């Protein structure tokens, strides 16, 4: 499998090169030259296969021979070494719980997969040069990347996050590990962080001295394995005669992009909903056809506070840059903070199920869609554990959210982070120093 740049000004590369480079030299994102078509008979018999076998089968065409099959099977198995249950909430709506990994967020799957791929590639390197993973986070990416890459030999990690715009648990997860994990607190938004990272990748002076790669979902090794849990959800889907509607809380659009890719590979899906908060520029694009990035607005669903989602170009690539074809399979829905809080309250009162703010956005978007589609059923992605957003959840439910024992020790650790203005010169001096 080869990968081309979405800007079409760079040579095609294999999975190994795309993973190590992160972003193409022409500033585009890498995209597979073809979308594998999975055997419909195999998909209809997913219940007969283990989660590990399913994940391996899904990712193998994308990796090709860059990783031996035995090693790739081990990597995929370790990436999903925790439960990913599809839990009924109401008669027509289920929750795909993606928060049972080590950092209690959906990004654990992609971060664990990528860290192990990159670790393997570095172990095979002749010159044993260290690689620096430079990543921007709006919340959960930082913790997942920090956990996934912690003590991985030959890899240094630098994480940028917006000051005051991540939850206490999220901040502790990305600032307390130390060793090869370093955190930089930016006095700005996620978009500021992402812009600084993009500048670094195109800076010749930095790239001559450092071997840079990204662990954001712009990296194929972070983006592609997110397909796993869509297939694992369908494995648990009871009504195989009726394909599900899937609502995905969407910020940088990497997660829903992976779902759409899985659908184009053959996974039965009736419809996708990009559930957005106040940062809903994709909704405007689908309505007007005009791409107008804007500054991110802070919300209680902070991981979705993205004003210029990088991965949307990949969604367009999946549909051959044909917006009408895309709109047949994807719609958007924007949810306010007030509606998010009310949804957390209502769902807990009616069903005893506790949503985090991102899951609440997904739930309400799905509920609204099903209200006008009487025969449909579906599920939303519950992307993070409610404990990551205690203020909003406890205010809405009146229930004290207990910190899971698996992360209790992290909350006692000291935060270690450098604070910068959103000034590229500061970041550049730090990286080169």
Active centre residues (catalytic): 107
The answer to whether residues 74 and 222 touch, using CB atoms and an 8 Å cutoff, is no
- In angstroms, the CA 157 to CA 131 distance is 9
Sequence-separated (6 or more) residues with CB below 8 Å from residue 278: 297, 299, 334, 336, 337
Write the Ramachandran bin of 253: left for phi over 0, alpha for psi from -120 to 50, otherwise beta.
Answer: left
The tokens describing 285, both together, are 């694009």
The answer to whether residues 62 and 36 touch, using CB atoms and an 8 Å cutoff, is yes
The dihedral built from the CA positions of residue 103, 109, 112 and 114, taken in this order, carries a sign that is negative
The dihedral built from the CA positions of residue 336, 337, 340 and 342, taken in this order, carries a sign that is negative
- Strand partners for 272: 246, 330
Q: Which of 6, 99, 57 is nearest to 267 (CA)?
A: 57
Torsion of CA 372, 373, 374, 375, to 10 degrees: 180
- Strand partners for 161: 185
């Amino acid at each position: 499998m080869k990968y081309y740049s979405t800007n079409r000004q760079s040579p095609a590369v294999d999975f190994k090169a795309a993973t190590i480079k992160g972003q193409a030299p022409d500033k585009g994102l890498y995209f597979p030259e073809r979308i594998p078509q999975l055997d419909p008979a195999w998909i209809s018999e997913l219940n007969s296969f283990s989660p590990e076998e399913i994940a391996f089968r899904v990712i193998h065409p994308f990796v090709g021979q860059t990783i031996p099959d035995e090693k790739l099977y081990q990597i995929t198995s370790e990436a999903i070494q925790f439960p990913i249950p599809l839990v009924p909430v109401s008669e027509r709506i289920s929750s795909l719980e993606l928060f049972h990994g080590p950092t209690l967020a959906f990004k654990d799957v992609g971060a664990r997969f990528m860290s192990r791929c990159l670790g393997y590639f570095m172990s095979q390197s002749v010159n044993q040069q260290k690689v620096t993973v430079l990543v921007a986070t709006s919340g959960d990416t930082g913790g997942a990347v920090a956990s996934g890459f912690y003590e991985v030999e030959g890899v240094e990690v630098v994480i940028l996050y917006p000051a005051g715009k991540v939850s206490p648990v999220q901040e502790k997860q990305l600032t307390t590990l130390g060793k090869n994990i370093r955190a930089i607190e930016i006095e700005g938004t996620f978009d500021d962080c992402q812009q600084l990272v993009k500048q670094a990748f195109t800076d010749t002076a930095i790239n001559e001295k450092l071997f840079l790669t990204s662990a954001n979902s712009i990296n194929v090794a972070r983006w592609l394995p997110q397909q796993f849990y869509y297939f694992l959800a369908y494995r648990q889907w009871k009504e195989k005669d009726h394909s599900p509607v899937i609502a995905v809380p969407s910020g940088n659009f990497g997660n829903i992009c992976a779902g759409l890719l899985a659908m184009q590979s053959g996974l039965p899906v009736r419809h996708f909903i990009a559930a957005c908060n106040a940062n809903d520029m994709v909704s405007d694009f689908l309505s007007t056809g005009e791409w107008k990035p804007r500054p991110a607005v802070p919300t209680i669903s902070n991981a979705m506070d993205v004003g210029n989602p990088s991965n949307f170009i990949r969604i367009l690539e999946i549909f051959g840059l044909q917006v009408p074809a895309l709109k047949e399979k994807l719609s958007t829905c924007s949810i306010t903070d007030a509606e998010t809080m009310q949804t957390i309250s209502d769902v807990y009162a009616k069903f005893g199920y506790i949503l985090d703010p991102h899951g609440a956005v997904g739930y309400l978007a799905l509920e609204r869609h099903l209200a006008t589609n009487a025969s449909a059923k579906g599920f939303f992605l519950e992307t993070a554990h409610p404990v990551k957003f205690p203020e909003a959840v406890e205010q809405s439910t009146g229930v004290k959210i207990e910190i899971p024992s698996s992360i209790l020790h992290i909350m006692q650790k000291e935060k270690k982070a450098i604070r910068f203005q959103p000034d590229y010169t500061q970041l550049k001096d730090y990286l080169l120093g």
